[in-house]
Amino acid sequence: GPALLARLFPFKRGLTHSYWAANAWALYNAADVVLSRLVLGPGRSRLTSGLVGESATGLLPSVSPGFAGATSLAATLPWLTRLWQRPEWDEFLRALSGCGLAAFAFGWHVHEKAILTALVPLTVRVLLAPGAAQREHGADWHFALQAAGHVGLLPLVYTAAEGPFKVAHLLGYSVWLAAASGVRLRVALGCAAVLGGTY
């Protein structure tokens, strides 16, 4: 009924979740907060209140659910077009991951967990790639995306007792993935430097 539709399409919950997922709308909202503070003064933006619900932007135009949906759909078209032209298993996994990434980047009220819709098929694609050259082609990009995506998930495990476990898990998974997928050393070291700078 109506309660199920409200959960599936949370239009009354606002463009971004109270803990902003690292997508295009978080950047848009951050730009609005900065511009609002510079032009209107502090305290004019409600986008950083931490409350779930619709919040008006200060200076930039508000984004409607329809615009977010149209932007998401437009971002999936290159992936779907390529799949239509080359209907192969590898292209299907690439399109599935690309469409998940497009929905994460431009979707309405996206949670940080939604990055997994892009990471899971991309992981399958990289690990099951038929040749070393094909695996290496996608492995570097995949490794960087999974590192960033997992860092975005770390705040969900928030107690001090869980801190060492979550960092050890992330580093262990990253080392395993780099070895299993053939990531070039410079990419792995670059991601490690970024991860080290965040914690």
pTM: 0.79
What the block records as the tokens of 115 is 């990055």
Phi-psi region of 167 (alpha: psi -120 to 50; beta: other; left: phi over 0): alpha
Q: How far apart are CA 28 and CA 16, in angstroms?
A: 10
Q: How far apart are CA 60 and CA 52, in angstroms?
A: 20
Amino acid at 196: G
Q: How far apart are CA 102 and CA 56, in angstroms?
A: 24
> For the chain, what is the mean pLDDT?
79
pLDDT in tens, 115-142: 999 999 988 888 776 665 555 566 777 7
pLDDT in tens, 149-163: 888 888 888 888 888
Q: How far apart are CA 29 and CA 47, in angstroms?
A: 7
CA 159, 160, 166, 167 torsion-angle sign: positive
Q: Which residues of 11-41 are buried (b: 16+ CB within 10 A; e: fewer)?
A: eebbbbbeebbebbbbebbeebbebbeeeee
Question: Which residues in the chain show pLDDT less than 50?
Answer: 198-199
Q: What is the pLDDT of residue 42?
A: 73
What the block records as the tokens of 156 is 């969900």
What the block records as the tokens of 56 is 């008006």
